[in-house]
Amino acid sequence: MSAVPETAADLQTALSHTAKLLESSPSLAAVQAQEILRVVPGQANALLFYALAQGKLGHAQVAVDCLARLCSQQPEWAVAHYELGLALGRTGQGDKALLSLKKTLALVPGLAKAWLSLADLYSAMGDSASADSAYGKYLQYSGSNPRLLAAASAMVENRIPVAERALKEYLKDCPTDVAAIRMLAEVAARLGRDIDAENLLARCLELAPSFTFARQNYAYILNRSNKFEQSLRQAELLLEAEPENLSYKNLKAVALSKIGDYESAIRLYDDVLAANPGYSKIWHSFGHTLKTAGLLDRAVEAYRTSIRLEPNYGEAYWSLANLKTFRFTDDDVVRMRGRLESDQLTEEERFHFDFALGKAMEDRTDYADAFRHYEKGNRLRRSLIEYSPERNAGKIAASKSILSVEFFRERIGYGVAAADPIFILGMPRAGSTLLEQILSSHSMVEGTMELPDIIAITKDLYRRQTDGRVKTYYPMLQAMSREQADVYGRRYMDNTRVHRKTAAPFFIDKMPNNFAHVGLIQMILPNAKIIDARRHPLACCFSNYKQHFARGQNFSYSLDDMGRYYADYVELMAHFDHVLPGRVHRVHYEDMVHDTEAEVRRLLDYCGLPFEDGCLRFFENDRPVRTASSEQVRQPIYTDGVEHWRHFEEWLGPLQDALGPVLEAYPQVPAYHYNNRSTMGEINV
């Protein structure tokens, strides 16, 4: 303990020591403060420290009495009024706490922590409007918080783990700091943890409904999570406050596109870009909407405008390449090569240019140079993502071990009886868009899009399992009751209704990755149709390898990963053929190309639909198509694409090795795929 102060220097030393003791030993801090007060009665800092120590020791009313006396002695000291407000709040004296905090802010209007405490108090008192206003003031004044500035600096420097640790530690002390919550949500989004980001942003807006930056982030993450109606609602709320805000209008246009209201989206984009023609990324978004709506010439012009405004915008070049029927000019190629020689490109800009140049060289039949660019783009993209083929194989083994003949026999009668959905699934780039276009040309079938709803259910099931060692949702299927299966089935039907624009009795869900969830579909929608679109392994896998996906499909950026994933898919579908015989209808792309009418009749028979000639003239269907094949399916079937992969065969050795017996057996399936394998990955159940 410090000596009793006799001089000013001694007093300062004793006060500094007391302040340090507050954190480590509040009881000693209280004793030290009392000693100072004995020698220097009424010393303000000593009285403050004594009150704070009593509060930490649980003597809340003693702390209140001391702080009230201090405020009486020092009526212009904001710190004293602030601490009194906190102490009064802890003793349940909300009205008095409110007065103390308001007094604090009258003395120091820019004291951020006082605004935060006031907002918390208003929130606790049920005054959400006042709480929201106070949170807004807190955000206005909190920019100088050193802990938040340190976290922000780590984020700017892409030291994401450092930023995450700093923010989580800070939020332990300040759990209602909406600025920190929003920053942590951004960290989660960067790490791909979209559910965490969504929940954090929802909490932000619960605390501060007028925190428009958080709401804008929330709209964006909802859109990225395929919750398009909710994203649209958030955009509309933002526009209610700022009707002319360009970013909010763009958010709304994107959401309108995603729910299929292309006419409204195009009108909004036209209005936005007429008034603000200098925004490259908005032109790029507009191009996506025009492409999906089938307005190809306008889409090309939108993408080119984006490039003129931002020459390094590699993604816009890739969007042109991704039109498939588009051809780059010689000048385009020269410009792209020039950009790749620059050391100013980001990694993302660079791999987009490589994928685009790969397509340009492929169209020029320079297959060696095309593969060189595809390989460079894939190698760079693979270095930036996380994917484990072993973990994927483990999931396949886990699914097979649980979803047995007996499993499904015991659950006959589960789920809702609706027969509306027609699932088209399988590998990406296997012809699923062609099948969707054929079926949606039938008068009784409506095409929608790659719906996210089955995958959303799997994520919900995964969150509900409590064993941290489990890496799949499959054990939750074992625990699912008949009532729960009905709930999930109804949820799927309710949530997909927004995408149905006609009175057709059937609709298509064309999410390829749903092949991993056939067991779930059987449990919750036992009368839905399931169609497996399959294509030659080398044709399908190489088509994926040269395709840069905006999100997901992380298996596609390595020939070895790609081959192993395809083999896993074949194995799982063979298992479902065994445990649910006849449940899945398979269409081989090559058969559809070589004898279209016979395959279309088989397909319609499986779906219980009468034959219609329109299904053979599917290329006349002008419905919106939102996939990489959107232009190709607006043309008659052509056979050139069936063997196109052979131009690259000399470089596909790693893919052939990874495919193994699956390649040799195609279109049949290796016999052992119908049996459980004990050595294929770790079964995390």
DSSP track, 620-660 = G------STTTTGGGS---SGGGSGGGGGGGG-HHHHHHHT
For residue 498, the one-letter residue type is V
Burial 201-221 (b: 16+ CB within 10 A, else e): bbbbbebbbebbebbbbbbbb
Give CA separation, 656 vs 85, 362, 426, in Å.
71, 21, 19
Same CATH fold, 420-663 and 8-143? no
The pTM of this model reads 0.72
pLDDT (tens digit, 9 = 90+) per residue, 434-463? 999 999 999 999 998 888 899 989 988 988
What are the sequence ranges of the domains in the chain?
A: 8-143, 420-663
- DSSP-assigned letters across all residues of 176-241: T-HHHHHHHHHHHHHTT-HHHHHHHHHHHHHH-TT-HHHHHHHHHHHHHTT-HHHHHHHHHHHHHH
* Structure tokens that stand for 551 in this block: 């999100």
Give the Cα separation of 494 and 51 in Å (integer).
Answer: 58
| CATH annotation of 420-663 | 3.40.50.300
Q: Which residues pair with 588 in a beta bridge?
A: 534
Nearest Cα to 532, choosing from 422, 648, 391? 422
Helices (H) and strands (E) in the chain, counts: 35, 5
Q: Where are the alpha helices (DSSP H) in 293-424?
A: 296-309, 314-321, 330-340, 347-363, 367-383, 389-402, 405-409
Query: Which pLDDT does position 118 carry in this prediction?
Result: 87
> Which H, E and C letters describe 95-153, residue by residue?
HHHHHHHHHHHHHCCCCHHHHHHHHHHHHHCCCHHHHHHHHHHHHHHHHHCHHHHHHHH
- Of the candidates 190, 182, 180, the one whose C-alpha atom is nearest the C-alpha of residue 218 is 182
Q: What is the tens place of the pLDDT at every residue in 169-185?
A: 999 999 999 989 998 99
Closest alpha carbon to 516 in 669, 627, 429, 393: 393
Grouping H, G, I as helix, E, B as strand and the rest as coil, residue 533 is strand
Predicted pLDDT at 14: 83
The reported pLDDT for the residue numbered 267 is 94
* 416 touches 493 (CB < 8 A): yes
Counting every residue, how long is the chain?
685
pLDDT at 635: 52
Torsion of CA 333, 336, 340, 344, to 10 degrees: 160
Task: Give the model's pLDDT for residue 119.
Answer: 80
Q: What is the pLDDT of residue 612?
A: 94
Report which of 55, 57, 137 is spatially closest to residue 101, judged by C-alpha positions.
137
**With the C-alpha atoms ordered 642, 644, 645, 649, is the resulting torsion angle positive or negative?**
positive
**Two tokens, residue 315:** 């993604």
Q: Specify the 3-state DSSP secondary structure of 344.
A: coil
Task: Return phi, psi of residue 268, to 5°.
Answer: -65, -45
Give the pLDDT confidence score for residue 404 in this predicted structure.
95
Q: Which of 572, 590, 596 is nearest to 681 (CA)?
A: 572
Q: How large is the C-alpha radius of gyration of the chain? A: 31
Low-confidence ranges of the chain (pLDDT < 70): 1-9, 123-129, 132, 136, 139-140, 143-144, 466-470, 621-641, 672-685
Q: At what angle do helices 330-340 and 347-363 cross, to 10 degrees?
A: 150
pLDDT at 651: 97
What's the confidence (pLDDT) of residue 439?
96
| Confidence at residue 630, expressed as pLDDT on a 0 to 100 scale | 43
**The pair of three-digit structure tokens given for residue 2, joined into one six-digit string:** 């410090």
Q: What residue type is assigned to position 301 of the chain?
A: E
- What does the mean pLDDT of the chain come to? 88
Decide: 168 and 160 in contact? Cβ < 8 Å: no
Burial class (CB in 10 A: 0-12, 13-18, 19+), 638: exposed
Say what the pLDDT of residue 633 is. 45
User: From the CB of residue 416, how many other CB atoms can be counted at a distance below 10 Å?
Assistant: 20
Beta carbons of 464 and 414 less than 8 angstroms apart? no
> CATH assignment of 8-143, given 3.30.70.980, 1.25.40.10, 3.10.640.10, 3.40.50.10310?
1.25.40.10
Identify whether the C-beta of residue 457 lies closer than 8 Å to the C-beta of residue 488: yes
Distance CA 67, CA 64 (A): 5
Is the bond into 670 cis (omega within 30 degrees of 0)?
no
pLDDT of residue 631: 45
Alpha-carbon distance of 24 to 48, in angstroms, equals 17
d(CA 301, CA 291): 11
Residue 676 has what pLDDT?
Answer: 45
Question: Max CA-CA distance within the chain?
Answer: 104
Nearest to 608 by CA among 529, 504, 675, 520: 529
CA 334 to chain centre: 35
